[in-house]
Structure 1
Amino acid sequence: MPLSRPFLLLALTIPALASAQSQPLVVANFGGANGKAQEVAFLKPFTQASKVPAKGVEYDGDLGPVRKMVQTRKVEWDVVEVESSELTTGCKEGLFEPFDKSKVPHTSMLLAGSVQECGVGAFVWSTVLAYNGATLKTAPRSWADFWDVKKFPGKRAMRKGARYNLEFALMADGVHRRDVYSLLATEPGLQRALAKLQQLKPHIVWWESGSQPPKLLAADEVVMSTAYNGRISAAVADGATLSTVWTDAIYDIDYWAIVKGSPRAEQARAFVNFATTDAAQLAFSREIAYGPTHYNAILQYDNGRKRVIDDAHLIDLSMAPSDLPSAPGNLRRSLGFNPTFWVGNGAQLEKRFADALK
């Protein structure tokens, strides 16, 4: 298949990187719809443009395999997709190669926080409130509605664990998103969040895989769920009558990191540079509704797409409707995940959460 014009232009900017290395460049990602989108937008076009074979492998985000590769000096993965907390942890442990910010080609065009010491932002994703529009007569608008079992009777689904749920609990209890982490860092704030979750405990169905919320909602097993926005968008594309509430969603950036000691580090850096261009980012977001980190791709995303306007968006016309987490209107009303807070406090918070919700 010939390269499309945007990727043809990219190809002209990539040096000849094919080498005598017999092994392809290996990019570890989280699989599923995300992995398929990366194959279309990043891996195949990069291979065509650079003549460096690149393949994806699926992993669950745990840093254990990366640690083992680095410690044994048998590095089989070159680039890994990591969440922000794992990037922070892996960088401190020396598992990733550093990035020179001055040598990342599009630094000035990437969202704030995209270029870190050991990683470059791959895309933005959000954990949102999702519901089945065909089931609920009144649409929920907030986490307070998620907790309101009288107005919205039925089960709710939440990801099993403290992360995100403690933040949602505080926002449901009236805490503004700007104050969530400062309050959660205190004992009274933590107790308040846990008490709020206790209120909802009889109505919670716990999920562990991102594929579960759309299925639970479609089957009417729950009336609302926390969910990854990309999973909901993918289900909607397949015909599901699901909707997303962006107010007080939690957004985070997944990063590209290069495994320390990769024998293909040069090719790996070329891949990261390629995958963070506006053309590649836009192609990725066309496949799955995770947000580009490149501003040009964000601005181009809705060109030619049918926009769906509901009465919630009519409240503030500056919030142009979009299913992208990095769309300005969605970022504006979302809470940015704090990886430093969770790396420092995650273990004890998970224990307190587990003990409180036994």
Structure 2
Amino acid sequence: MIMHKYMKTLLAAGVVAAAGLSAAEARDLTVVGFGGAVQDAFREAYFTPYAKEKGITVLEDTTNGGLAKQKAMVEAGNVTWDVMQMEDDEVTMACEQGLLEDMDWSTRAHADEIDPSQFKDCAVGALSWANILTYDAGKLTDGPKNWADFWNVEKWPGKRGLRKTAKLTMEVALMADGVAPADVYKVIATKEGQDRAFAKLDELKPHIQWWESGAQPQEWLSSGDVVMTSAYNGRVDTAQKEGKNFSIIWDGQINSVEFWAVMKGTPNLDQSIAFVEFLMSKDPQVTFANAIAYGVSNVKAMEALPADRLAKLPSAPDNLKNAVRFNSEFWIDHGEELAERFASWVAQ
């Protein structure tokens, strides 16, 4: 079995640590993302150029989200992650729980070039993305046009891929049931609206194949395991570049921002800050947006992109016409209870 080069480096670092050096001396800067195509783009735009410029090693790890591992590290005083890619609601909760360095990124290098809406307590914008509907146009010549079509198993028989979380799935169910994108969070905020979302999901449940990592929807479309799926737009764009005939339906996209944050108690604090400042700069963000179809936080970087590339980003005006803006405050307030209800429902 061939060992992944990053795992080799991680193991080597572990050997050094075992030799009796301190954690700060023993390990290199470790950056954590969600893997797959977005991590490939991070590597091209950020990790490799920064490592080369500074003459250091940048280690990588991946996560599917959640705060359990971060909490365990901070409570144990054994922080082995440094800089993290995090979802909007989770970065807010992690900051409130003391799991992140309370940095005011609006005072750091390149901050004057960052869209002001991309600053949060403890975090700065990494990318904007969309949860969209996609299908293989080579297999479906008359494919679905919206989430209501996604539920039409008579016209399009076969499995549907949906993310195995209440978040991003209940919103889709409500749109499929006729709720306008602008009204989704008004409806879902009520008990009746939540019941409505689960009732709609009941209709489709026998046909759902649940995905947990962002790479799975594209793999399942390619293999024919699903006939259509929700997915992250950037990953679909990458599949298109690789020759896949996957269509993106922007109608009903759920648009959100992810952030960069620094783990509380990292022994690499100064290096982590310097790295995030590099991530905030224009040129690497241009490279990133050209590598994968996600929006970026640096305004000058967005302005530098050609029109045909901008049109592929979820933040393009035409793509936002019928979009749902992800409401992180709702999920902070209701996420735990709805996650429990969703897990119980899936298991039934």
Give the TM-score band, short-chain normalised.
Answer: 0.7 to 0.9
Match of 2:15 in 1: none
Match of 1:328 in 2: 317
Q: Shift of residue 261 of structure 1?
A: 1.9
User: Kindly tell me: are residues 189 and 78 of structure 1, through their superposed partners in 2, closer, same or farther at Cα, counting changes over 3 Å?
Assistant: same
Which structure dedicates a bigger proportion of its chain to helix? 2
The reply on whether 1:232 has 2:236 as its aligned counterpart is yes
Give the Cα–Cα distance (whole angstroms) in 1 for the partners of residues 99 and 328 of structure 2.
17
Give the Cα–Cα distance (whole angstroms) in 2 for the partners of residues 127 and 50 of structure 1.
35
TM, length-normalised to structure 2: 0.85
Match of 2:184 in 1: 180
Q: CA RMSD in A?
A: 2.2
Matched-pair contact (CA < 8 Å) for 2:64–2:213: no
Match of 1:349 in 2: 338
Q: Shift of residue 51 of structure 1?
A: 4.2
The reply on whether 1:99 has 2:99 as its aligned counterpart is no
Q: Shift of residue 145 of structure 1?
A: 1.4
Count of aligned positions: 324
How do residues 110-189 of structure 1 correspond to structure 2 at under 5 angstroms? 110-111=114-115, 113-189=117-193
Q: Shift of residue 243 of structure 1?
A: 0.9
Match of 1:273 in 2: 277
Match of 2:327 in 1: 338
Counterpart of 1:300 (choices 280, 299, 304) is 304
Q: Shift of residue 133 of structure 1?
A: 0.5
Q: Shift of residue 79 of structure 1?
A: 1.0
Match of 2:293 in 1: 289
Residues 294-303 or 256-265, more deviating: 294-303
TM, length-normalised to structure 1: 0.83
Q: Deviations over 1:103-131 (max 9, x none)?
A: 13444543453110011111112211001
The percent identity for this pair of structures is 40
Match of 2:20 in 1: none
> Counterpart of 2:78 in 1: which secondary structure?
coil
User: Kindly tell me: are residues 257 and 48 of structure 1, through their superposed partners in 2, closer, same or farther at Cα, counting changes over 3 Å?
Assistant: same
Matched-pair contact (CA < 8 Å) for 2:105–2:122: no
Counterpart of 2:266 (choices 241, 262, 265) is 262
The runs of 5 or more residues in structure 2 that have no matched partner are 1-23
> Counterpart of 1:299 in 2: which secondary structure?
helix
Residues 335-344 or 20-29, more deviating: 20-29
Matched-pair contact (CA < 8 Å) for 2:106–2:119: no
User: Kindly tell me: are residues 71 and 258 of structure 1, through their superposed partners in 2, closer, same or farther at Cα, counting changes over 3 Å?
Assistant: same
Q: Shift of residue 169 of structure 1?
A: 1.1
Letter in 2 for 1:218: S
Give the Cα–Cα distance (whole angstroms) in 1 for the partners of residues 229 and 250 of structure 2.
13
User: Kindly tell me: are residues 69 and 203 of structure 1, through their superposed partners in 2, closer, same or farther at Cα, counting changes over 3 Å?
Assistant: closer
